[in-house]
């Protein structure tokens, strides 16, 4: 049992399980939206973040956050890729290529400027459901 501060509404809440940092009300809303987006993407793979945002009434920022959390991945056939923030290699999800994420685990450096610049390009990028989605144990409380 631990006490956390909800990352959406800022309310304090207690939880035994991993809730992704949301209180119970916000988590329910979050999962609702997440599943809505997932279903939308099954039917419309390759939709970009602003299309998803309109269709599912979630923010572009939220969609891109899910991509960075590896819940969704960018599609390979699109012209815009996301790039590893360190070496610039093309990647389809997350922030770093496999090699650099190992390095980053050792030396945590702030790369906010790079991240902001890349974020603009990512928002025009198509998004699809990641194949390994849901196998990370994060959704087990469902």
Q: Which residues bind Zn ion (CB under 5 A)?
A: 6, 8-9, 11, 23, 26, 84, 86-87, 89, 97, 100
Q: Please, is 78 exposed, middle or buried when counting C-beta atoms within 10 Å of its C-beta (0-12, 13-18, 19+)?
A: middle
**C-alpha to C-alpha distance for 71 and 141, rounded to whole angstroms:** 16
Q: How far is the CB of 92 from Zn ion (least distance, A)?
A: 13
Q: How far is the CB of 29 from Zn ion (least distance, A)?
A: 9
Q: How far is the CB of 50 from Zn ion (least distance, A)?
A: 26
Bridge pairing between strands 2-5 and 12-15:
antiparallel
DSSP string, 90-126: EESSSSS-HHHHHHHHHS----HHHHHHHHHHHTTSE
**C-alpha to C-alpha distance for 50 and 42, rounded to whole angstroms:** 16
Q: Decide whether 13 or 66 has the Cβ nearer to Zn ion.
A: 13
Q: Decide whether 6 or 139 has the Cβ nearer to Zn ion.
A: 6
Q: Decide whether 6 or 31 has the Cβ nearer to Zn ion.
A: 6
**C-alpha to C-alpha distance for 72 and 92, rounded to whole angstroms:** 9
Q: Decide whether 18 or 89 has the Cβ nearer to Zn ion.
A: 89
Q: How far is the CB of 100 from Zn ion (least distance, A)?
A: 3
């Amino acid at each position: 049992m631990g006490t956390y501060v909800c990352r959406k509404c800022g309310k304090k809440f207690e939880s035994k399980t991993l809730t992704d940092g949301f209180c119970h009300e916000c988590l329910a809303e979050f999962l609702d939206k997440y599943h809505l987006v997932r279903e939308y993407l099954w039917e419309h793979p390759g939709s970009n973040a602003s299309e998803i945002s309109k269709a599912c009434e979630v923010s572009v920022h939220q969609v891109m956050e899910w991509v960075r959390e590896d819940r969704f991945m960018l599609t390979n056939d699109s012209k815009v890729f996301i790039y590893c923030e360190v070496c610039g290699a093309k990647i389809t999800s997350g922030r770093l290529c496999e090699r650099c994420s190992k390095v980053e685990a050792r030396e945590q450096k702030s790369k906010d400027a790079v991240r902001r610049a890349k974020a603009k390009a990512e928002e025009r990028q198509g998004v699809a459901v990641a194949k390994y989605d849901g196998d990370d144990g994060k959704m087990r409380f469902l």
